[in-house]
Amino acid sequence: MNTLKDRCAIVGVGETKYTRDSGRTELSMAVEAAKNAIADAGLTTADIDGMVRFTADSTSHSELAAGLGIPWLRYYSELGPLGGAACGLVAQAALAVSHGMANNVLVFRSVNGRSGQRYGSGVVTTRRGQKGSAFTEPYGLLVPGQSSALRIRRHMHEFGTTVRQLGAVCVTFRKHACMNPRAIMHGRPITLEDYETSKMFFDPLRIFDCALEADGACAFVVSSAEAAADMKQPPVLISNATQCMPAEQGRSERGWDDSGGARMAPELFGGAGITPQDIDVIGFYDHFSPVIITKLEDYGFCPRGEGGPFVEEGRIEAGAELPVNTSGGHLSEAYMQGMNQIIEVVRQLRHRSYAQVEDAEFGLVDSGDGSGALVLRR
């Protein structure tokens, strides 16, 4: 039973500029994004009484509250892991609001992901070995891109997925970024030929297959649906939220049919009272391009093994059958750990995106590797 269905809404969204060298502290960016989100909702900082953040964020609840001039918070929480937090934080905010623990909860993420700590770099550590990585680190598996490369190789072997199909994802998302003036890669289109001749990172993944590490901050405000009806922006209702985490990450017996997205999909869509065919726009966590192909399969938009042809046929482009990552996504807008995907789907459902999907009513957003997902509704 879905106890969240349409009880809460995202009422305000805010961002900073996305850059490769912000020259700012993460706290200052968090304050800017938060103020933008609060103003977008037509609220004041005094209205915020709850706050949730990424566990990995360097900015604490108390630091941001002080920066905003908020003396007390009724509710605060945080969530990890890094990639899976965004959708789960929305669920936490909605649960807090729906159970009367807060009225308006601010969700935020601020990171100097390009000029500061680079999540794409890997270092062998004693801590990693103690967590079980002793079976991967000696063979050079240090960063997520390497594991993603191995997974798509298996998909290629089983289903005939091609490098050109990966390229189709990258070219499509760059096309979307060129429509979005906020994207780092705005005005820098690429062709399939550009993709095929680009630098190889983790065979078969090339530079364009990897998320665009960036500096910036995102925030949004979650309130009750009742309160949202009287706010500044058209409310975007949270129709359902789900999470999924395997008991043992990376266990060898897991197959393509045993993914987080595939496990969440029945509950996610069933609780929202819809089917995959009702989804008008998608924000997928695209830290690497192969996940777009596998997530289309996981969530039931095409049969297992047919994700490659699906993207190659242009069906995920803005104006096509199932637009995905219409802001450019992590590959071409900025890598904000799923937060900018949520903001873009909210804009789509407000009918204010730069790559607007006509009459968009339902949107799907997911976090890293199917660890959390939302159905949002206009």
Q: What amino acid positions are annotated as catalytic residues?
A: 285, 335
Strands 50-54 and 205-206: unpaired
Residue pair 103/227 in contact (Cβ under 8 Å)? The answer is yes
Q: How far apart are CA 232 and CA 218, in angstroms?
A: 19
For residues 375 and 348, give the distance between their C-alpha atoms in angstroms, rounded to a whole number.
13
How far CA 86 is from CA of 23, 60, 83, 127, 316, in Å, comes to 25, 16, 7, 25, 22
Tokens read off for 363: 């949107």
Q: Which residues contact 145 (CB under 8 A, 6 or more apart)?
A: 120, 201, 202, 205, 210, 288
Query: Which residue, among 253, 255, 243, 247, has the nearest Cα to 365 in the 3D structure?
Result: 243
